[in-house]
């Protein structure tokens, strides 16, 4: 998938998720306490999902900048080429498997 297509998909997903992440109305005369609790939990989950989408969108934009500068496809840590299969699955990655594993450890 091209980075530009992925960026468009992530933007659309963010737009779609905005309604679920909006402020929960606190009027208990309209919504019971349990329903309000459920709504707050759903709101928190939607907001967490939005943060994940925003972070991935940021990574895609950085990858596009790296593509323009000719640095795309090379690990930011060791400067070795990132495996083609890894870029196919997640085109916004900035580290090879070894360096990413080391960063997560």
63/38 same-domain check: yes
59/103 same-domain check: no
Per-residue pLDDT of the chain (105 residues; tens, 9 = 90+): 588 899 999 999 888 887 666 665 555 555 566 677 787 788 888 889 899 999 999 999 999 999 999 999 999 999 999 999 999 999 999 999 999 999 999
Q: Scanning the structure block, which residue is given the tokens 């299969």?
A: 85
1/47 same-domain check: yes
88/65 same-domain check: no
* Cβ partners under 8 Å of residue 86, min gap 6: 93, 96, 97
Domain that holds residue 79: 73-105
Q: What is the pLDDT of residue 36?
A: 72
67/78 same-domain check: no
Q: What is the pLDDT of residue 64?
A: 94
Residue 6: name the closest of 79, 66, 59 by CA.
59
Token pair recorded at residue 20: 């679920």
């Amino acid at each position: 998938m091209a980075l530009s297509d992925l960026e468009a998909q992530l933007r659309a997903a963010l737009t779609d998720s905005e309604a679920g992440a909006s402020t929960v109305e606190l009027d208990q005369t309209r919504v019971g306490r349990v329903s309000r609790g459920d709504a707050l939990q759903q709101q928190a989950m939607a907001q967490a999902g939005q943060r994940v989408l925003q972070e991935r969108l940021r990574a895609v934009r950085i990858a596009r900048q790296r593509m323009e500068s000719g640095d795309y496809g090379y690990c930011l840590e060791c400067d070795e080429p990132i495996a083609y299969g890894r870029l196919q699955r997640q085109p916004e990655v900035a580290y090879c498997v070894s360096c990413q594993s080391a960063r997560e450890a």
